[in-house]
Structure 1
């Protein structure tokens, strides 16, 4: 069939118009492998929920283990330490493994650790199980973002990571309250056994639908110090460390902060507002990240700063608390996707090493945020939390603005 005169004339005026139109049409037809990406999102959900679930079950767990609630709270700390101490060396040691085998190994680690946690009556054994869960998390976190990237064409990689990272706000806004309710209704051990059951289902899901990829050849395996020398990696790692530290100072003690505002009985609703706004943030970031990574990171920093400023100005509870929580969620929800994507882009051939360092610093910041928040609470009270967040976000904003060429460029490489 011959082309119409109008089409032929248009092609004659612009020889590149037809190929460009074909490329645009091909990009529009490209689809994300949603079944596989949702399996990764479920793995992220399990990782996040395994870490934070004890926070909602401290009284029940401490009674069963025969230790204080503060000692039981260290089950969260030891998890973060397991991740921080092992993410880099294990990522280097397993760089040659096929990716699906490594993912299944990490997920199986969660099944084993949560099962032991559920049946253990000894504090020491529980702490060992939690450390093992943190080790599995270190493997998973260093792997998942890169896995999602490899499943999608360059133009859709940001969206792929956004889908995979959606498990974080879902775990925090829905998983923790649901797990807490289940634990209070049927016992905390049932909550952890339910996690094991979900993990077993996930193992079958991954086996069935997630594609496999080879690991790296020996000469290509990640070298951490070399990755630090790649332009853009250090700004991304700095922003990760300080931003997560700022967030954790407030989030880890949000119940105490709200109680001091007279809203202790509304903590679940405030966190629900935060979680829903985080999901909206992930959707926005997923839709726009391939062209607006830099502006989205700046916007996220400013939104969390605005939330902190509003929290700092409050002298009591009320609707403005929910407004601040929504601003916080809008700024924070998409941040894991933004930072994982920025680290992968900046790392280039050393992306796995950059991701492993990001995971390590993320968990270091979480542990440090809990410690710093405790010190501030004892020294100055919970009112110091939002001011600390504002102070920490100033260098974050400065580094993002300065990293225009590498780290947080206005246009992602290859897009």
Structure 2
């Protein structure tokens, strides 16, 4: 499908990044805001679970499933929708996805029914599946070759900003004005973003049918399986704790400090994503190993020394330093393993090529598994909460990160190569 969106055609449509040797900051910041909206919509309930559960008349573990059903919407639809919309112009698809967020957040804010809220969250997850399959490749194609890593880091900065500022702000807003106001604020932001995208983000053509790569072909590429497995287990470990962080802190007697904890976590995440953006081109493997060790260290502190409030905040900082760059690291690893390069990006702009199709397929599978892990983390966290209490969360994180570290260490030739 080649219908235009009304956006101004971009220089990148000819294979050249906008701005020659410079980064198109307005367009990249719009993409970062789209990432922010996607991430915050997914994680906002983490800081609002007690209020949401009371308003909807369900338990906190049931309210936590609003994160799970969002992830389920993504992993159930990301692959088929990515394949079905491969021929759409990229700008049109991005606008469609962001409109889905506006509708879903509005319904969530106005709903008093648990079933309707869960339906709206599922729709938001479907929109996320469309958006995430676009955003990493979009950011790269806006940049000259030597700045692709930095462009991706800027776009992915929306994740730590959502965690450092968005979730604490949403938690504060929910406490002051009600949790529904936080979701309505998301709708307002998305409305502004839709105009911003139309005005500043270059449009790109979709792929011709002959250039599309079946998902199973991408799995045969060396390294893709390793990256996807690391993604699944790492995100599962993170989500088990993060989805229930308000409950975990409340059980420690720090329930009133959830926003402060998340602020420390998110500020450290911003520092992490800056460091990753600066070094990822040459140190993907080392950065991934460091991230794994830092998150494991944070979990160990929370498992062994959670009775010390200062150490809890130290753990928040370690967790943020480790996790902040993980989305950029894994997106980059998937793209490289799938065969993306500047030549592939140029062929993609012309609707040709095979390496670019494999990279798109690898990214779509990463998005799917990421959200399988998000859903699994929400379910596993709920089960652990009911059976063993919130104190079991850090131990589960440590258990899961052991195979992640082992797999990154062994994937020396493909997936997470030494150079």
**TM alignment of 1:135-154, pairs within 5 A:** 135-154=126-145
Q: Displacement, 1:71?
A: 4.0
Gaps of 5+ in 1: 1-28
1:118-157 residue pairs with structure 2 within 5 A? 118-157=109-148
Give the counterpart of 2:415 among 383, 407, 414: 407
Structure 2 counterpart of 1:100: 91
Q: Does structure 2 conserve the Cα–Cα contact (< 8 Å) formed by 1:233 and 1:407?
A: yes
Closer, same or farther: CA 327–184 of 1 in aligned 2, 3 Å = closer
Q: Deviations over 1:354-413 (max 9, x none)?
A: 1111111111111111222233334433333222222211211111111122111233xx
Shift in Å, 1:122: 3.8
Match of 2:346 in 1: none
Q: Following the alignment from structure 1 to structure 2, what is the Cα–Cα distance between the partners of residues 382 and 116?
A: 30
For the pair shown, the structure with the greater C-alpha radius of gyration is 1
- Cα displacement string for residues 274-324 of structure 1 (whole angstroms, at most 9, x for unaligned residues): 111000000000011111111111111111122222222215123222222
1:31-110 matched pairs, under 5 angstroms = 31-62=22-53, 64-65=55-56, 67=58, 69-110=60-101
Shift of 1:54: 3.0
By relative contact order (CA 8 Å, sep 6+), the higher-ranking structure is 2
The number of residue pairs the alignment matches comes to: 383
Q: With the length of structure 1 as denominator, give the TM-score of the two structures.
A: 0.87
Report the equivalent of 2:14: none
Question: Distance in 2 between the 1:337 and 1:251 partners?
Answer: 19
Deviation at 1:65, TM superposition (A): 4.5
Of the three residues 207, 221, 231, the one matched with 1:230 is 221
Distance 1:55 1:301, change over 3 A: closer
Equivalent residue number for residue 323 of structure 1: 314
Conserved 8 A contact 1:263-1:317? no
Matched position secondary structure for 1:383: helix
Which residue in the other structure is 1:167 paired with? Answer: 158
- 2:375 equivalent to 1:384: no
Summarize the Cα distance change of 1:62–1:385 in structure 2 as closer, same or farther, 3 Å threshold. closer
The answer on 1:396 being equivalent to 2:387 is no
**Runs of at least 5 residues in structure 2 that lack an aligned partner in the other structure:** 1-19, 340-354
Judged with a 3 Å threshold, the aligned counterparts in structure 2 of structure 1 residues 318 and 180 are, in CA distance, closer, same or farther, namely: closer
| Selected match of 1:220 from 200, 204, 211 | 211
Tell me how far apart the structure 1 counterparts of residues 294 and 54 of structure 2 sit (CA, whole Å).
Answer: 40
> Are the structure 2 counterparts of residues 304 and 208 from structure 1 closer, same or farther at C-alpha, using a change threshold of 3 Å?
same
* Farther off after superposition, 236-245 or 385-394: 385-394
From 332, 357, 372, give the equivalent of 2:365: 357
Q: State the alpha-carbon separation in 1 of the partners of residues 51 and 312 from structure 2.
A: 30
Structure-1 separation of matches of 2:392 and 2:118: 31
8 Å CA contact retained: 1:232, 1:408: yes
CA distance in 2, matches of 1:214, 1:133: 25
1:373 to 378, 381, 395: 381
- 1:268/1:184 CA distance change after superposition, 3 Å: closer
Contact 1:297 1:335 (8 Å CA) reproduced: yes
C-alpha distance in 2 between matches for 1:34 and 1:97: 25
Task: Tell me how far apart the structure 2 counterparts of residues 257 and 61 of structure 1 sit (CA, whole Å).
Answer: 16
CA distance in 2, matches of 1:41, 1:129: 23
- Report the Cα offset of residue 247 of structure 1: 1.2
Could you tell me how far 1:330 is from its partner in structure 2? 0.6
Post-superposition Cα deviations, 1:254-287, rounded to whole Å, max 9, x if no partner, equal: 3333344443333322221111100000000001
Q: CA deviation at 1:63?
A: 5.2
State whether structure 2 residue 344 is matched by structure 1 residue 344: no
- Which residue is 1:26 aligned to? none
Structure 2: how far apart are the matches of 1:95 and 1:73?
Answer: 33
1:176 aligns with 2:167: yes
Structure 1 window deviating more from structure 2 (288-297 vs 302-311): it is 302-311
| 8 Å contact from structure 1 (residues 262, 317) kept in 2 | no
**Do 1:36 and 1:210's aligned partners in 2 also have CA atoms closer than 8 Å?**
yes
Equivalent pair of 2:284/2:329 in contact (CA under 8 Å): yes
- Contact conserved, 1:92 with 1:222, CA < 8 A, in 2? no
- CA drift of 1:177 comes to 2.0
Give the deviation of 1:142 after TM superposition.
Answer: 1.0
**What value does the CA root-mean-square deviation take over the aligned residues?**
2.0
Mapped to 1, the partners of 2:200 and 2:278 lie a distance apart of 24
